[in-house]
Amino acid sequence: MNKKDRVVFISNYLDKLYPKTPIPLSHSNKYELLIAVLLSAQCTDERVNQVTPILFSKANTPDAMINISVEEIYRIIRPCGLAPKKSKAIWDLSFILVEKYNSKVPESFEDLESLPGVGHKTASVIMSQGFGHPAFPIDTHIHRLAQRWGLTNGKNVLQTEKDLKLLFPKDSWNKLHLQIIYYGREYCTARGCKGNTCIICKTCYPNRKSFVNIK
């Protein structure tokens, strides 16, 4: 199966498996989504979803967030890990949103990535899932699976993003990145598949014997 055939099979299979793609992080507005994605760095979505209701009950807007202390934010989000950096980033970016953006989440990669604690992946999630613009956020699941499925050379996440954007139609990116995440968590896990166990891996590479080393 060549790369073009793999792309068609993967797209069709994931569409059948995951016709609907709800966002894993609980939120009720773009600001809450921004904070939840920031918290999800090196933390599971499940843990974030346990913490954010407590945080958002106290502050779910930038104006409300800057009226509580960094220390209080820290105490609430501590289970998510990296709490010292994340709590300061949450307060600082909230202050910037109030002062510079009229308390609204900006709708551009440049403005989002200028905020404390917001990198390209976080900005991509906000642009795609918050505003509906085509984007392809790359997390560890997508990076791992793209390598296993022979869709990228796997040098880094930026290269993976570039390769996947060239392979898949632009109007599929927002849904597809979530489908791959779901599949990676459920079927093609880091330890459970390793490139020769799940349906997609076995279909794309039926003769593969050895495990795939992820870079």
**Interatomic CA distance for residues 53 and 76, integer angstroms:** 10
How far apart, in whole angstroms, are the C-alpha atoms of residue 212 and residue 201? 10
Active site residue 139: yes
d(C-alpha 151, C-alpha 134), whole Å: 19
What are the structural domains of the chain? 3-21+136-204 (1.10.1670.10), 30-130 (1.10.340.30)
Q: Is 121 an annotated catalytic residue?
A: yes
Catalytic residue among 86, 121, 163, 194: 121
**Largest Cα–Cα distance in the chain?**
59
User: What number of other Cβ atoms are within 10 A of residue 32's Cβ?
Assistant: 20
Q: Which of 15, 92, 111, 139 is catalytic?
A: 139
Tens digit of each residue's pLDDT, the chain (215 residues)? 899 999 999 999 999 999 999 999 999 999 999 999 999 999 999 999 999 999 999 999 999 999 999 999 999 999 999 999 999 999 999 999 999 999 999 999 999 999 999 999 999 999 999 999 999 999 888 999 999 999 998 789 999 999 999 999 999 999 999 999 999 999 999 888 878 899 999 999 999 876 666 55
